[in-house]
Chain A
């Protein structure tokens, strides 16, 4: 098996999610159980068959609690991925690797989160973590929005990207959310005037450049390609997968290497494409991590959809809309569907390749899904 790689060796065969809302009454553990059971039901696989789990290090429901609650079988592989939203795609990648290597047969990845009704992590920084907080927090660089806005300002300065480019990202996500009844912003259209006159969060980022604080949970089921052929749904193959932590990278405040504007996406992308039969030209639809609009131009460059500095301009002329060069975040993304650390992007990628998205790209057969840019990241190239 050595050297054959992950290419199409495994598939996502089930997806599940709870409702998304600013406030859900149930706790994170209950939401996790609901999402996992929904995904297994979607796959037509009994909980007792699950022998692998993967989630984020920031996930509060641990494997023991989840496995016990929903009645999983004996687990032979479990994994957690660090760096918050950078871990989303890696949860699936770890399961795919474990299954391809024979360490397990049925894997479930999940994320449950109450950020809409719960406290925001940065408000717990009254005593900041020693590293890297000592270099940023005392000066009032407190929130992820501030940390990414710093890169965004430099990016706009260096390459002439504009707020209109960021608006193009926010609008594409909102337009898709307006087609998706499950999205928090389903019935809330966005206009350029609303965007340009909204309040600042951290200049140059305004309210609509920021993702939604959301309660919700999602899960998906990964099995071997062979097993997938017998499942209830059309398999969505994991064609290529990668993590990315570039040399001399530093957390979300990546100001200290030679080229802070080439982040983890570039590292993940090199591995992702190297092990794929596809190129960026072949991607029909993309789910690109959008905790902040400004991450999207960086990712467009990193994953090779355009050259350095061209990410802003790429968003022009409806490129990110349905019918455009690269339809983006077709469920509404973190900006307008739900911010559940990017897991909703994975499930939406699966829906696109099943042909069941609420904003279906006609004939979509390939989908790039990415995790958080700016932090050590991960990505999946899915195909039908």
Chain B
């Protein structure tokens, strides 16, 4: 499986995820959350950032169901869902992830036919990666 190759801006996201926390980069001056992480705030141009905890609740904004040909580890689990989650407390922050049956479950564990746009989900963590389960 692919593991995140982080850059300097994104590393804190993954460090918090490894501790079981979902945090979003936020401007320390104007308070605007932003994703993906980057050096400065596109609204006020401040370089002062902080990582603010979010509730970890959201709704499915969109989803796909990949089928092979895929990289081998993923082909083994296909068909699986990939979802984009719109966070409840930061609606313009959308995270790519997977809807699974429980924390640590494989990508294909949740029946792809049951995924719907608008489905309420909440974050769980497994191996440093955020996953999503039905809320």
Check if B61 sits within 8 Å of A258, measured CB to CB: no
Q: Please report the C-alpha to C-alpha distance between residue A129 and residue B93 in the assembled complex, in whole angstroms.
A: 21
Tell me whether A142 and B6 are in contact (CB under 8 A).
Answer: no
Which chain A residues border B95 with CB–CB below 8 Å?
Answer: 135
A205-B62 Cα distance, complex, nearest whole Å:
14
> What is the total number of residues of chain A having a CB less than 8 Å from a CB of chain B?
42
A153-B63, A202-B65, A248-B42 known; A142 vs B74 contact (CB < 8 Å): yes
Q: Which of B1, B4, B77, B79 has the most CB of A within 10 A?
A: B4
Contact flags B97-121 to A (C-beta < 8 A → 1, else 0): 1100000000100001000010000
B interface, how many residues as a size bin? 35 or more
Q: Is the CB of A143 within 8 A of B10?
A: no
A236 and B6 alpha carbons, distance in the complex (Å):
47
A142 touches B71 (CB 8 A): yes
B67 contacts the other chain (CB 8 A): yes
B35 interfacial by beta-carbon distance below 8 Å: yes
Q: Is A149 a contact of B64 with CB atoms below 8 Å?
A: yes
**Does the CB pair A200–B36 fall under 8 Å?**
no
**A154 close to B (CB within 8 Å):** yes
Q: Which residue of B lies closest to A205 (CB)?
A: B64
Q: Is the CB of A153 within 8 A of B117?
A: yes
The residues in A between 35 and 60 inclusive whose CB is less than 8 angstroms from any CB of B are none
A130 CB within 8 Å of chain B: yes
Given A138-B129, A154-B117, A255-B94, the answer on whether A132 and B36 have CB atoms closer than 8 Å is yes
B70 close to A (CB within 8 Å)? yes
**CA gap between A127 and B10 in the complex, in Å:** 16
Cα-based distance from A35 to B132 in the complex (angstroms)? 50
Which of B2, B36, B66, B98 lies in contact with A202, CB distance below 8 A?
Answer: B66
B contact residues around A356 at 8 Å (CB): none
**Complex interface: chain B residues within 8 A of A137 (CB):** 2, 4
Does B14 make an interface contact (CB < 8 A)? Answer: yes
The answer to the question of A300 belonging to the interface, with a C-beta cut-off of 8 Å to chain B, is no
Question: Are B63 and A150 neighbours in the complex by a CB distance under 8 Å?
Answer: yes
Interface residue? B92 (CB, 8 A): yes
A79 to B1, CA, bound (A): 38
Contacts of B7 in A (CB 8 A): 130-131, 134
Decide if A140 touches B107 in the complex (CB within 8 Å): yes
* A133 interface contact, C-beta 8 A: yes
Partner of B67, one of A200, A248, A256: A200
Note all chain A residues with C-beta closer than 8 A to B66. 140-143, 145-146, 201-203
Q: A217: CB under 8 A from chain B?
A: no
Is A128 engaged at the interface, CB distance under 8 Å to the other chain? yes
Instruction: Check if A125 is an interface residue, CB within 8 A of chain B.
Output: yes
Interface membership of A123, Cβ < 8 A: yes
| Residue pair A146, B62 in contact (C-beta under 8 Å) | no
Q: List 22 A-B contacts (CB under 8 A).
A: A128-B2, A128-B5, A131-B10, A133-B2, A133-B5, A134-B4, A137-B4, A139-B82, A139-B98, A139-B107, A139-B129, A140-B70, A140-B74, A140-B80, A141-B96, A146-B66, A150-B62, A153-B63, A200-B67, A200-B79, A202-B66, A256-B92
Residues of A within 8 A of B (CB): 123, 125-143, 145-146, 149-151, 153-154, 157, 199-205, 248, 250, 253, 255-258
Given contacts A153-B63, A256-B93, 10 further A-B contacts (CB under 8 A): A125-B71, A127-B5, A134-B7, A139-B98, A140-B80, A141-B96, A142-B71, A154-B84, A200-B65, A258-B92
Which residues of chain B have a CB within 8 Å of any CB of chain A? 1-7, 9-10, 14, 35-36, 42, 61-67, 70-71, 74, 77, 79-80, 82, 84, 92-98, 107, 112, 117, 129
